[in-house]
Amino acid sequence: MSPAQGPVLADSSQSARGNVADVTDPAAALARPGDPGWWRTGVVYQIYPRSFADSTGDGVGDLPGIIEHLDHLAGPDGLGVEAIWLSPIYPSPGLDGGYDVADYSAIDPLFGSMDDFDRLIKEAHRRGLRVLLDLVLNHTSDRHPWFEASRASRTGPEADWYIWRDPAGTHRSGRPIPPNNWLSFFGGSAWQWDEGRRQFYLHTFLAQQPDLNWREPFVQEAVFGMVRGWLRRGVDGFRLDVFNALLKSSDLASNPPGRRLARSPWQRQRHLHDKDQADLLPLLALFRSMVDEAPGRMTVGELFAGDIGQAVALTRPGHLVFDFELLGQPWSAASFRRTIAERERAFGEAWPTVVLSNHDQSRHVSRFLRTLGRQDQRTHDAVAKAAAVLLLTLRGTPFVYYGEEIGLPDIRVPNALAIDPPARRASWRFPWWNRDRCRSPMPWTGDPGAGFTTGRPWLPFSPDHVTRNVARQAEDSDSVLATYRRLLRLRAATPALHGGGLRLIPSPGEDVLAYERELDGGRAVVAINFGLRRFVWAPPPGSWKVALSTGPRAVGSPLGDTPRAPQLEPLEALIALEG
Ligand code: GLC
């Protein structure tokens, strides 16, 4: 049976066709034949659409809001990023902030319409900005018509589109026993009993996020059709949500025990069978060949609970992988030195990503201030700037999470008031961090509503938003925002900084991290003082001039050939170029 014959497939291909027929401006796509890969030189900016800018006054960000603020990102006064990645914008019950997709081929009315989307692509491309969508392919919402059809019948065309299994037996109480010991990352068993089918279905995340069965060819066909539709609409690439979990072992064997003392039950298993299967590689290759049908497109896969080695093994030309080792480090030069050395060793010639914050974790400025035991605004800004130098000068493609360019901190949302679903069920048995804290609305101005909304924001603003906002920082040449702008321009103009190799330099004290970047003889040196004391620090031999300093050092001043070795001020980060 061909996919178009099943009723649900007919629906889905219909919407995919809708996607294709309405192609707005494919010629505007920024693909440049022969381009070695813009993602290796540029920086990607992650937008959490609910929290970026609200144009309707309902308190939730939307696509027209993003369009209104594109000049913040690109153009003469913009940050200077190369691409935006939008967290999911598809229709969704919103139980996991849109990572529970009910229709892959449409726009959630909460965020606007397909016309708004086409306008976003056009306006972004007009500014030289590329657009990446978030593809959540491991699971759908339980409201997706595919799941509704799959749940409705054991024999229908969609019966095997999800992972259904008979119970392993029946408890004395009469309760059915799940097919194996797999656990949901969001707490409890990964199996949900369905009274209708009298079978369990698998959900790696919420019970309302059933896992698709990627061993079913029709699933592949339907998803690929949908992806092609977005590509034809002018999308430049995708972030692939938890992509290493797409395939599970076909015999669904139970996982062996893992770290006995780990905090959560999920971590106390070794996940040998519910993710990271060998046939992910051919599936990825197939997916890439579709994306590569036109040049200039990139993908980045989110590694679900994996390490650097796995990230390297899954990295391909044009396909990057998020490993979260850097994101896990405290504000310590020694920890970053160790992690950078390990990553450089593991990645070799392969191209890494550089991530300090995203929509799932505490924002890095808040994490780092906790390590330092400081909360004052001066230290806050100094840490945000020094971390920006780190993020934007390491080897790899940096990802900036909205708000970090003004040093936006976490907000406090008690679990009892949490919107994030796993946080609502957190307990000592299921430890969970509240992800609401890193999703607060972007403060554009110090006005009521922060220039974000005229209504009531869906999450509170950060308490310092009256003083910490885009408008205020745009006027201050010493702000975090001004530092990001300078850094992004310097990075773009300096091949060693965006394309060079990286060599760690031994440092004089444990609080200093220093490294050199080099490409075709062009050299840049970066030094960051993580501590609150001054340090004498000498660059490697050469004639160095300061290109950027987050301290008082003047741009263009020589470094290293003064009678006394230069001192790094507390929390100062500097970049010097040779010549
Ligand atoms: C990814 C997303 C996260 C989501 C989960 C399930 O980890 O980043 O926000 O909850 O996948 O889709």
> Which residue, by CA, sits nearest to atom 9 of ligand 1?
360
Kindly state the percentage of the chain with pLDDT values over 70.
Answer: 93
Give residue for tokens 């300093």: 549
Q: Which residues pair with 513 in a beta bridge?
A: 528
Q: Which residues are catalytic?
A: 241, 293
Cα(490) to centroid(ligand 1), Å: 33
**Which atom of ligand 1 sits closest to the CA of residue 205?**
6
- Output the pLDDT for position 538: 87
**Which atom of ligand 1 sits closest to the CA of residue 204?**
6
Contacts of residue 101, defined as CB under 8 A and 6 or more positions apart, other chains included, come to 88, 90, 91, 92, 136, 140, 141, 144
> Which residue, by CA, sits nearest to atom 4 of ligand 1?
99
How far apart are alpha carbons 256 and 270 in whole angstroms? 6
Does any ligand 1 atom lie closer than 6 A to the CB of residue 241?
yes
Cα(95) to centroid(ligand 1), Å: 11
Taking 80 as the threshold, does the pLDDT of residue 189 lie above it?
A: yes
**Which atom of ligand 1 sits closest to the CA of residue 139?**
12
How far apart are alpha carbons 296 and 36 in whole angstroms? 8
Instruction: Give the 3-state secondary structure percentages of the chain, helix then strand then coil, rounded to 5.
Output: 30, 15, 50
How far apart are alpha carbons 330 and 357 in whole angstroms? 13
Question: Which 3 state secondary structure label does DSSP give 68?
Answer: helix
- Ligand 1 pocket test target in 202, 205, 206 with most atoms within 8 Å of CB: 205
DSSP 339-358: HHHHHHHHHTTSPPEEES--
> Which residue, by CA, sits nearest to atom 12 of ligand 1?
99
pLDDT category, 140, cuts 50, 70, 90?
very high
Does any ligand 1 atom lie closer than 6 A to the CB of residue 420?
no
Q: Confirm if 60 and 50 have CB atoms less than 8 A apart.
A: yes
- Output the pLDDT for position 23: 38
Cα(305) to centroid(ligand 1), Å: 11
Does any ligand 1 atom lie closer than 6 A to the CB of residue 205?
yes
573-578 and 44-47 beta bridge pairing: unpaired
Cα(46) to centroid(ligand 1), Å: 14
How far apart are alpha carbons 114 and 112 in whole angstroms? 7
How far apart are alpha carbons 204 and 211 in whole angstroms? 7
- Ligand 1 pocket test target in 241, 322, 323, 432 with most atoms within 8 Å of CB: 241
Taking 60 as the threshold, does the pLDDT of residue 275 lie above it?
A: yes
Tell me the CB-side half-sphere exposure of residue 544, using CA atoms within 13 A.
Answer: 25
Q: Confirm if 391 and 487 have CB atoms less than 8 A apart.
A: no
How far apart are alpha carbons 116 and 16 in whole angstroms? 18
Taking 50 as the threshold, does the pLDDT of residue 24 lie above it?
A: no
> Which residue, by CA, sits nearest to atom 7 of ligand 1?
242
How far apart are alpha carbons 357 and 351 in whole angstroms? 19
Kindly state the percentage of the chain with pLDDT values over 90.
Answer: 87
Contacts of residue 154, defined as CB under 8 A and 6 or more positions apart, other chains included, come to 164, 197, 199
Taking 60 as the threshold, does the pLDDT of residue 22 lie above it?
A: no
Where along the chain do its domains lie?
A: 9-140+217-485, 499-578
Cα(355) to centroid(ligand 1), Å: 16
Sequence letter at residue 112? G
Does any ligand 1 atom lie closer than 6 A to the CB of residue 242?
yes
Cα(213) to centroid(ligand 1), Å: 18
Contacts of residue 378, defined as CB under 8 A and 6 or more positions apart, other chains included, come to none
State the pTM of this model: 0.94
Mean per-residue pLDDT for 27-35? 49
Greatest extent of the chain over all pairs of C-alpha atoms, in Å: 84
Q: Out of 65-69, 263-267, 557-561, which region has the weakest mean confidence (pLDDT)?
A: 557-561
pLDDT category, 117, cuts 50, 70, 90?
very high
Taking 90 as the threshold, does the pLDDT of residue 550 lie above it?
A: yes
Q: Confirm if 237 and 130 have CB atoms less than 8 A apart.
A: yes
Kindly state the DSSP code that residue 327 receives in the 8-state scheme.
G
- Output the pLDDT for position 420: 93
237-240 and 298-302 beta bridge pairing: parallel
Taking 90 as the threshold, does the pLDDT of residue 152 lie above it?
A: yes
Mean per-residue pLDDT for 323-343? 97
pLDDT category, 563, cuts 50, 70, 90?
low
How far apart are alpha carbons 426 and 420 in whole angstroms? 10
Taking 80 as the threshold, does the pLDDT of residue 529 lie above it?
A: yes
> Which residue, by CA, sits nearest to atom 2 of ligand 1?
241
How far apart are alpha carbons 513 and 556 in whole angstroms? 22
Cα(241) to centroid(ligand 1), Å: 6
Contacts of residue 44, defined as CB under 8 A and 6 or more positions apart, other chains included, come to 81, 82, 83, 84, 85, 132, 300, 397, 398, 399, 400
Does any ligand 1 atom lie closer than 6 A to the CB of residue 136?
yes
Mean per-residue pLDDT for 478-500? 97
Taking 60 as the threshold, does the pLDDT of residue 14 lie above it?
A: no
Q: Out of 15-29, 151-165, 372-386, which region has the weakest mean confidence (pLDDT)?
A: 15-29
Does any ligand 1 atom lie closer than 6 A to the CB of residue 360?
yes
- Output the pLDDT for position 564: 66
How far apart are alpha carbons 512 and 537 in whole angstroms? 8
Token readout for 476 is 């201050």
CATH number of 9-140+217-485: 3.20.20.80
- Output the pLDDT for position 514: 97
- Ligand 1 pocket test target in 92, 209, 239, 242 with most atoms within 8 Å of CB: 242
Question: How many of the other CB atoms lie within 10 Å of CB of 542?
Answer: 15
- Output the pLDDT for position 274: 98
- Output the pLDDT for position 508: 74
CATH number of 499-578: 2.60.40.1180
Q: What is the pLDDT of residues 428-473, one digit of tens each?
A: 888 889 999 999 999 999 999 999 999 999 999 999 999 999 999 9
